[in-house]
Structure 1
C-alpha cells in the first residue's frame, strides 16, 4: 500500500480524494492527481488486452524455455514486447498468432544463411544452412541450438549445441507423439566462452516425407 507521512494527519496511504500518494524506494514521497479515464474501455484498449491475452495463451508453455534462451527471467517480457508489435495479425476482434514472428533468442552474433528444414521421419527433421564462417568476425565453431514448439501438445523442446556453424547441417529428433501436429522450429547460435547469442531464425518446416 502506498503511504505518505503528514505532520498534521500522520500516515496517509494510497488514494485520498483526487490524489494518490506513493513512497519511492529512496524514501521520496510523490503525490499525483488522479484522473479517471473518460472512457476506460475504448476499442483500442480492448484490442490491446485481447492481443496481450492471445500472446500469453500461445506462449505459456514456452515461458520456462525463454528464461534459458534469453539467459534471464526478463526474456519472457522481451518476447511479449516483440510479439505485441509483430506476431499478432488481423483486426480487432479477429486476431491470430503468427509463430514465424515469434523470437526465442536475441543477440549480436551473425545468424546463418539460406536456412532450410525438411522432415526426415515422423519424429525427426534435417536442418541445412550455408556456412559463411570464412567472413571476418564469424566463428566456424559457433554452436547451433534448436527450439521446437508444438502448440497442440503444449510442449516445447530446446536442443542445445547440436551442431556447429561450419557443419552446414544437423538432424533433430522429437517425440513420435508429435507426428501429425503442426511443429514450429527456430535456430539460434551461441558463440565463444561468453555465450553470446544470435537472434533466432524461424524456419518453415516441409512436412512431406
Structure 2
C-alpha cells in the first residue's frame, strides 16, 4: 500500500501496481518492480551466497562494535557493517561449498593504524577469561587512555560476551566473566583499541582459542 506525502497532490511512498514511490536525500522518484530472474544461479553465485550468509550471521550481533572498528568507512552503521562483512568474506572463510567455515584467527573486527600492543595473551580460570597486553603506548600511534574493545565468542552457542566495563590501554588487563552454561565449551577471543575520542582505531588482534571453565 502506498501513502501520499503532502496531500493528494503530493508525491507518494510505497507500492502502486508495478510502480514503487520512494525518496533519497529529499529527492522523490518512481521505479518499477524488479523482475525475478528465471536463470538458475551459477555454482560461484551459490558459493558466494553461502559465504555471505555465514559471515552475516556471525557478525550481526556485533554491529555496535563494528561501527567503532570500521569508523573510517563513514558514519553509517550499515556501510560499516557491509565493509566488515566484505572483509571477513575475503579473509576469514575457509573450506569448500557448501561446508564453509570461519577461520577464527583471521576474523577482523576493526581496521586502522592505531598502535597494537607488542604482546598479548589470555588465561582461562573458573568462571572467567583474563586478557593481558603490554600497556606501553607507542609515541607514534597510541595513548594510555585508548579504549580496549574485547570480544569473546562461544562457538557452540553462537553467543558473544565482553567485559562489564571498558578497559584502557594503561590497564594492561581485562577480565571477562563466563556464564556457567559456557563451561566445557569452546571460545575464541579478539581485541582492538580505539582512541578515547574514537577517531583512531587499531587492527584486530586474535588472542586465541579457549575452553571455558
Q: What does residue 146 of structure 1 align with?
A: 150
Which residue is equivalent to 1:125? 129
Query: Contact (CA 8 Å) 2:149, 2:193: kept in 1 or not?
Result: yes
Q: Unaligned 5+ residue runs, structure 2?
A: 1-16, 69-75
Aligned to 2:64: 67
Q: Distance in 2 between matches of 1:153 and 1:132?
A: 35
| 1:195 positional shift | 5.4
Deviation of 1:124 (Å): 0.9
In structure 1, C-alpha distance between the alignment counterparts of 2:111 and 2:177, rounded to whole Å = 24
Using the size of structure 2 for normalisation, the TM-score is 0.69
Specify the alignment match of 2:73 in structure 1: none
**Would you say the 8 A contact 1:70–1:104 is kept in 2?**
no
- Counterpart residue number, 2:114: 109
Q: Deviations over 1:3-45 (max 9, x none)?
A: xxxxxxxxxx869xxxxxx9985568899xx9x78x5422111
Is 1:82 the equivalent of 2:87? yes
**Greater than 6 Å deviation, 4+ residue runs:** 27-31
Partner secondary structure for residue 157 of structure 2? coil
Please give the TM-score of this superposition, normalised by the length of structure 1.
Answer: 0.70
**Whose radius of gyration is greater, 1 or 2?**
1
Output the CA distance in 1 between the equivalents of 2:178 and 2:122.
14
- Tell me, yes or no, if the aligned pair for 2:66 and 2:84 is still in contact at 8 Å: no
Q: Give the Cα separation in 2 of the matches to 1:95 and 1:73.
A: 26
- Counterparts of residues 1-209 of structure 1 (less than 5 Å): 25=24, 26=27, 40-57=40-57, 59=58, 62-71=59-68, 73-74=77-78, 75-119=80-124, 121-159=125-163, 162-194=166-198, 196-207=200-211
In the alignment, the residues of structure 2 paired with residue 63 and residue 164 of structure 1 have an alpha-carbon distance, to the nearest angstrom, of: 25
Cα distance in 1 for residues equivalent to 2:108 and 2:164: 16
Contact 2:182 2:212 in 1 (8 A): no
Count of equivalent residues: 190
CA RMSD, 1 decimal? 3.6
Does the 8 A contact of 2:161 with 2:176 survive in 1?
no
